[in-house]
């Protein structure tokens, strides 16, 4: 007797089954993501919206949203506040200009010294010890760092190490933190001293990831050490360097603690930076709207930097 052929169920498309599985997992994903999303909304999204809204008001204490002023806070900051930016002198002065100085000199010197130390440390037996010594300042809190270097820079030779040392050669005493000529250079030096160790460790890891076969092949072809560094090492660590540069730049834009501890923006307003101006306008100055406008300007400055970083990550892989 012939057996009737069994009906074969229609095949379910793979794409449709995957979509159905994804829909079934959606509630579970939302459940696990909800706590993080709530924290981001409370501590990131809401404060950002509140700050942007407050920047359009006068922002006095106990009546922050009572007097709408539009773009007046921004106009006053960018045109009528020489402590924020002043183009009437050459070179310019003010908080934004001081941040530019930090961005150029601090970021450039930290990257250059970090790369040089990382390259040289890989060629000696005491690499671990060198990197540990260079990294020690990174482990010191910024507040403690400011206190330490305030004593180092003290114009009193009985307290200040630097002036005591210069006194041996008949120089000084110099008020490094009280003279507008020296104050920004002195502060940037402290930042460099603290930041080189971090750059050294990051770039050392990037250099060690370069294949030794590539380096040996270049040396076998007659390249000297400078050519190996310039033509091979430097291009291959360019992406980690750019990521590190973005990290340093973000830190420069948010710089506050070192300035607050060592100079409080002085002498006068010579060492003010953007973040310190935000604090100064909002709290001692009782102008929360103006302080919020400074915070929004900080955000606007940081957005292109973060966009560049994200695009770089999408196009290349970090070494």
Torsion of CA 213, 215, 219, 222, to 10 degrees: 110
Q: Which residues have C-beta within 8 Å of that of residue 174, sequence separation ≥ 6?
A: 155, 162, 163, 166, 182
Q: Which residue has the tokens 């030779």?
A: 157
Residue ranges of domains in the chain, CATH in brackets: 72-315 (1.10.3720.10)
pLDDT tens, residue by residue, 130-187: 888 999 998 898 899 999 999 999 988 778 899 999 988 988 789 999 999 999 999 9
Model pTM score: 0.85
**What is the 8-class DSSP label of residue 41?**
I
What tokens appear for 122 in the block? 């890989």
Q: Where do we find the tokens 């482990």? A: 139
CB 289 within 8 A of CB 56: yes
Write down the pLDDT at residue 184.
95
**DSSP H or E segment with residue 90:** none
Q: Cα–chain-centroid distance for residue 279?
A: 18
Tokens representing residue 159 in the block = 């307290």
Q: Could you list the mean pLDDT of each consecutive 10-residue stretch along the chain, which spans 319 residues?
A: 53 53 69 91 93 90 82 93 90 93 95 93 87 90 92 87 90 89 94 94 90 86 86 88 90 93 91 94 90 93 84 63
* DSSP-assigned letters across all residues of 69-114: -TTHHHHHHHHS-TTT-B-SSSS-BSHHHHHHHIIIIIHHHHHHHH
57: which strand partners? Answer: 68
Backbone dihedral angles phi then psi of residue 181, each to the nearest 5 degrees: -70, -35
**Backbone torsions φ then ψ of 63, nearest 5 degrees:** -150, 55
Tokens of residue 88, six digits:
């009437």
Contact 100, 86 (CB under 8 A): no
In whole angstroms, give the CA distance from residue 187 to residue 270: 11
User: Cα dihedral sign for 276, 282, 285, 290?
Assistant: positive
């Amino acid at each position: 007797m012939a057996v009737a052929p069994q009906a074969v169920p229609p095949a379910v498309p793979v794409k449709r089954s995957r979509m159905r599985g994804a829909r079934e997992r959606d509630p579970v994903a939302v459940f696990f993501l909800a706590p993080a999303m709530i924290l981001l909304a409370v501590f990131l999204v809401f404060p950002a919206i509140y700050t942007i809204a407050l920047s359009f008001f006068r922002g006095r204490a106990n009546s922050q949203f009572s007097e709408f002023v539009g773009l007046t806070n921004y106009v006053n900051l960018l045109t009528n506040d020489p402590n924020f930016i002043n183009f009437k002198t050459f070179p310019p002065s003010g908080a934004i200009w001081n941040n530019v100085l930090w961005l150029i000199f601090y970021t450039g010197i930290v990257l250059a010294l970090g790369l040089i130390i990382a390259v040289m440390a890989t060629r000696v037996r005491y690499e671990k010890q060198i990197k540990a010594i260079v990294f020690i300042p990174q482990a010191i809190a910024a507040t403690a760092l400011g206190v330490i270097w305030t004593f180092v820079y003290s114009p009193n030779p009985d307290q200040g190490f630097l002036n005591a040392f210069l006194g041996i050669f008949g120089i000084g005493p110099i008020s490094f933190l009280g003279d507008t000529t020296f104050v920004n250079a002195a502060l940037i030096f402290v930042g460099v001293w603290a930041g080189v160790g971090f750059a050294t460790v990051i770039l050392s890891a990037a250099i060690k990831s370069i294949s030794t076969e590539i380096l040996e092949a270049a040396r076998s072809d007659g390249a000297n050490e400078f050519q190996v560094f310039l033509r091979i090492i430097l291009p291959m660590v360019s992406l980690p360097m750019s990521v590190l540069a973005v990290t340093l730049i973000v830190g420069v834009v948010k710089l506050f603690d070192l300035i607050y501890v060592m100079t409080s923006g002085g002498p006068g307003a010579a060492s003010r930076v953007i973040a310190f101006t935000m604090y100064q306008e909002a709290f001692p100055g009782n102008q929360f709207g103006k302080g919020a406008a400074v915070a929004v300007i900080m955000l606007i400055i940081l957005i292109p930097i973060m966009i560049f970083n994200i695009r770089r990550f999408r196009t290349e892989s970090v070494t």
